[in-house]
Amino acid sequence: MNFSELGLGDSVLKAVEDAGYNTPTPIQKKAIPIVLMGRDILGCAQTGTGKTASFTLPMIDILASGRAKARMPRSLILEPTRELAAQVAENFDTYGKYHKLSKALLIGGSSMNEQMKVIDRGPDVLIATPGRLLDLFERGRLLMTDIRTLVIDEADRMLDMGFIPEVEKIVSLISPMRQTLFFSATLAPEIKKLADKFLMNPKEITVAPPATSAETITQGLVMVSHDDGKRPGGGQKEKRIALRKIIANEDVKDALIFCNRKRDIGTLYRSMKKHGYSVGQLHGDMTQPARMEMLARFKNNEFTFMICSDVAARGLDIPALSHVFNFDVPSHAEDYVHRIGRTGRAGIEGYAYTIAVPEDQKYIEAIARLIGKQIPLIMAPKETNSKNTTQSKKPSIGERKRGRGRNRFRKKELLGKKGFKSRTEQSQHETIISTQQNDNDDFVKFGDSDHVPAFMQKPKDK
């Protein structure tokens, strides 16, 4: 099947072709004809499935007939974060370039006066975060009674971020004679309850179970030991050492590195800069212009690694991402699937590595239950000896500044009685990394293992 069989108009089809797409994804095949029919949709789709185009393409066709009135837009797309809203706006520009349609991007961190001017010109579609939309409404700057198509995107993240009361208020301001498209990465009971409240006789579409990970993703788990006791967030220094060693043995083109806490993002960012890596960071304290600039630089390959949190990275559209590193194990198993789903897309092989400490055992087990398999335990690669290098905009992998101390390696026994389950099956791969405290982070001792996976080996210099 190709896009021409979905019922889209010629102008939209030409824009899709210009963007380099020929074959629709499963969510697009199922959703686009239903949207064009005017039915409500309850869609369950993971990140990277082409979900955004599944509603923007038919919306552009629908909006092509008729015009909006001043302060009375005809369509509304709600997103939980600024970055997601901005990316949807980019999609609207890409696929609507042959139509004379207008949009208003209403997000925090941007000039409200400029947004008011756009609203006064009568945009066809509003793309907004709930808070900024309600702020403008309460100031009397827009009316929502003429909205006929409502999209509630990433509903599960809306729930996690506490935006549901705002969403409920917004929905109450819109005519019940509307079409509602409701998308979520999961269909938990709370999500279904919301869907029942917002939708009327919806068509339910599920294209990928939320507990699955793509077969094109090679996953690996590296265990790290530390002497910080059982305090939360222990082993940060040891994990930084492990991360550098994994990176040095991987052909990383573009990578996201996930941290659970904002303060750890800054600490890891400074450490990686110190060691010569080309790296950026993305967190909630950044201004919107700074966040958008950082994203643009990453997409333009100005640096290789982006350190971020789950909320900051939600929905990032980076098609060629080669690696995902979980510097911290996510406390919610679903977030693991969302994180690693940013690599291995479009049939291209990707890699996802998770660094864990013994205190993370319950989270690792929860992830295993969700995805239906254990994350393979792998041996952390030994650091290779290479000449000192200088930092460039995008250094080759392993290129970094060396400290004065030399690496010392000693063997350590495998994890003891507090280890993970299924040890018989995993023992040939399992290892523990422990570190001795020193100023340059470079004393490491490794566990015994007779096997190093091929993708973890660094080719020898000829």
DSSP letter at 395 equals P
Q: What Cα–Cα distance (Å) separates residue 271 from each residue in 142, 279, 286, 401?
A: 47, 10, 19, 11
Q: Can you give the pLDDT at residue 424?
A: 35
Domain identity same for 144 and 222: no
Rounded to an integer, the average pLDDT of 318-332 is 88
31 and 103 together in one domain: yes
183: which DSSP letter? E
What pLDDT digit, counting tens, does each position of 380-411 carry?
555 544 333 333 344 333 333 334 333 333 33
Please, what sign has the CA dihedral across residues 158, 160, 164, 166? negative
What pLDDT, in 10s, does the model give residues 149-177?
Answer: 999 999 988 887 889 999 999 999 999 99
Domains contained in the chain, number: 2
Q: What is the pLDDT of residue 321?
A: 85
Residue 211 within a domain? no
Asked if 323 and 350 touch (Cβ cutoff 8 Å), the reply is yes
> Of 296-310, 368-382, 440-454, which one has max mean pLDDT?
296-310
pLDDT at residue 437, rounded to an integer: 38
In this structure, the strands spanning 255-258 and 444-447 are unpaired
Residues 22-68 pLDDT 10s: 889 899 999 999 999 999 999 998 766 789 999 999 999 999 876 65
Return d(Cα 36, Cα 18) in angstroms, integer.
22
Which position has the token pair 């009327």? 200
The length of the chain, given as a count of residues: 462
Round to whole Å and give the CA distance between 383 and 389: 15
Per DSSP, the three-state class of 219 is: strand
pLDDT of 243-282, one tens digit each?
999 999 999 999 999 999 888 999 999 999 999 999 999 8
Q: Are residues 230 and 183 in the same domain?
A: no
> What DSSP string runs through 17-36?
HHTT--S--HHHHHHHHHHH
Judgement on whether residues 177 and 85 belong to the same structural domain of the protein: yes
Q: Are 387 and 261 part of one and the same domain? A: yes
CB contact at 8 A, 191 and 156 = yes
Quick one: 366 and 425 in the same domain? yes
Is there a single domain that holds both residue 297 and residue 232?
Answer: yes
Nearest to 359 by CA among 234, 236, 261: 234
Q: How does pLDDT run across 65-121, given as a tens digit for each residue? A: 766 566 679 999 999 988 889 989 999 999 999 998 999 999 988 889 999 999 998
Are residues 92 and 233 located together in one domain of the fold? no
Distance separating alpha carbons of residues 352 and 383, to the nearest angstrom: 19
Domain end: 147, 176, 206, which one?
A: 206
For residue 117, what are its two tokens? 């001017």
123, 224: one domain: no
| Segment (H or E) for 311 | helix 310-313
Same domain, 311 and 408: yes
DSSP assignment, residue 383? P
10 Å Cβ neighbour count for 219? 22
For residue 118, the model assigns a pLDDT of 93
In a domain, 241, yes or no: yes
Domain of 302? 217-456
Domain boundary among 173, 206, 239: 206
97 within some domain: yes
Residue 254 sits in the same domain as residue 286: yes
Inform me whether the pLDDT recorded for 423 exceeds 70: no
We report the CATH number of the domain holding residue 344 as 3.40.50.300
Identify the three-state secondary structure at position 324: strand
Question: What pTM, to 2 d.p., does this model score?
Answer: 0.62
The answer to whether residue 212 sits within a structural domain is no
Identify which has the larger pLDDT, 49 or 440.
49
The model's pLDDT over 197-252, given as tens digits with 9 standing for 90+, comes to 999 999 999 886 656 667 789 999 999 987 765 555 668 899 999 999 999 999 99
How many C-beta atoms lie closer than 10 Å to residue 235's C-beta? 25
For the chain, the average pLDDT equals 80
CB 363 within 8 A of CB 330: yes
